[in-house]
């Protein structure tokens, strides 16, 4: 079994040699910085929904309706397919060299470890989303302006640093799906369920933790779940 630091050093070396010294740190900055920009730009339009796991968490917290959540997820997956298609069309050499950016479990890690990495990583991301967009927090700390996309982008950055060596870092099922569809090889498709199940579990834990453990509104939400079940 390869040890984690061996995987990191070999991956960093590969990325560093072939990508102008970029490596894991550069990839993590690219994801985190881009998420910061995308959330910053789309927050006022659609609420910054570019990740099915985040949308699922906000749906569980009753901040997005079911119909809207499903339509967002379809749009997110279509957008991801288009994005990876553009990369393949315009940067085909890098695309082939880096396996189409498709997520799969790295050698030496068990399925359970990969699933746990996706659960924990998505928990960190979705918990940060709840924390950064909490209206009560904004009201309480109004003297400290919160630029929500910044902590969200940083959460994405940190999670990439931690989990790129294990799964290539999904934490966004649409991103994993788009890469798998365009790359269309058996290994990413075999592992693909991890990148839906893991993020959705992580998002659910974050939603329930924030709504029911941290927030007084939890009992109210629970009540509406109960009454919905009774209808
Ligand atoms: C993906 O690969 C499978 C099997 O190799 C093939 O049957 C299928 O047509 C491919 N799909 C696309 C969209 O290329």
* Tokens coding 110: 């068990």
Helix, strand, coil in percent for the chain, rounding step 5: 80, 0, 20
Query: What secondary structure, in 3-state letters, does 28-53 show?
Result: HHHHHHHHHHHHHHHHHHHCCCCCHH
Contact 129, 57 (CB under 8 A): yes
pLDDT score at 137? 74
Ligand 1 centroid–CA 81 distance in Å is: 15
Ligand 1 centroid–CA 181 distance in Å is: 9
Torsion over CA of 46, 31, 210 and 41, rounded to 10 degrees? Answer: -20
pLDDT score at 147? 84
Contact 94, 88 (CB under 8 A): no
* Tokens coding 5: 């630091």
What pLDDT band is residue 145 in, cutting at 50, 70 and 90? low
Contact 218, 212 (CB under 8 A): yes
> Rounded to an integer, what distance in angstroms lies between the CA atom of residue 24 and that of residue 14?
10
- Residue 17 CB contacts under 8 Å (≥ 6 apart), including other chains: none
pTM, two decimal places: 0.83
Ligand 1 centroid–CA 184 distance in Å is: 6
pLDDT score at 227? 47
Ligand 1 centroid–CA 196 distance in Å is: 21
User: What are the sequence ranges of the domains in the chain?
Assistant: 4-225
Q: Class for domain 4-225, per CATH?
A: mainly alpha
Ligand 1 centroid–CA 182 distance in Å is: 9
Quick: pLDDT tens for 36-88.
Answer: 999 999 988 888 899 999 999 999 999 999 999 999 999 999 999 999 999 99
Quick: pLDDT tens for 74-115.
Answer: 999 999 999 999 999 999 999 999 999 999 999 999 999 999
> Rounded to an integer, what distance in angstroms lies between the CA atom of residue 2 and that of residue 30?
27
pLDDT score at 67? 97
> Rounded to an integer, what distance in angstroms lies between the CA atom of residue 193 and that of residue 196?
5
Angle subtended by helix axes 173-183 and 52-60, to nearest 10 = 150
Ligand 1 centroid–CA 80 distance in Å is: 18
């Amino acid at each position: 079994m390869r040890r984690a630091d061996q995987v990191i050093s070999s991956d960093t070396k590969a990325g560093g040699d072939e990508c102008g010294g970029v490596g894991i740190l550069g990839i993590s900055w690219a994801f985190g910085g881009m998420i910061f920009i995308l959330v910053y730009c789309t927050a006022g339009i659609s609420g910054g929904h570019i990740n099915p796991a985040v949308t699922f968490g906000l749906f569980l917290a009753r901040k997005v309706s079911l119909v809207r959540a499903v339509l967002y997820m379809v749009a997110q997956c279509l957008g991801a397919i288009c994005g990876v298609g553009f990369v393949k069309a315009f940067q085909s050499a890098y695309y082939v060299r880096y396996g189409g950016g498709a997520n799969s479990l790295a050698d030496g890690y068990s399925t359970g470890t990969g699933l746990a990495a996706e659960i924990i990583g998505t928990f960190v991301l979705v918990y940060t989303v709840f924390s950064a967009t909490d209206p009560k927090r904004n009201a309480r700390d109004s003297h400290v302006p919160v630029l929500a996309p910044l902590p969200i982008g940083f959460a994405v950055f940190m999670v990439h640093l931690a989990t790129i060596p294990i799964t290539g870092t999904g934490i966004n099922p649409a991103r994993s799906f788009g890469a798998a569809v365009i790359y269309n090889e058996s290994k990413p498709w075999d592992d693909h369920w991890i990148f839906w199940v893991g993020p959705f579990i992580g998002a659910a834990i974050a939603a329930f933790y924030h709504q029911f453990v941290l927030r007084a509104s939890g009992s109210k939400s629970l009540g509406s779940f109960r009454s919905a079940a009774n209808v």
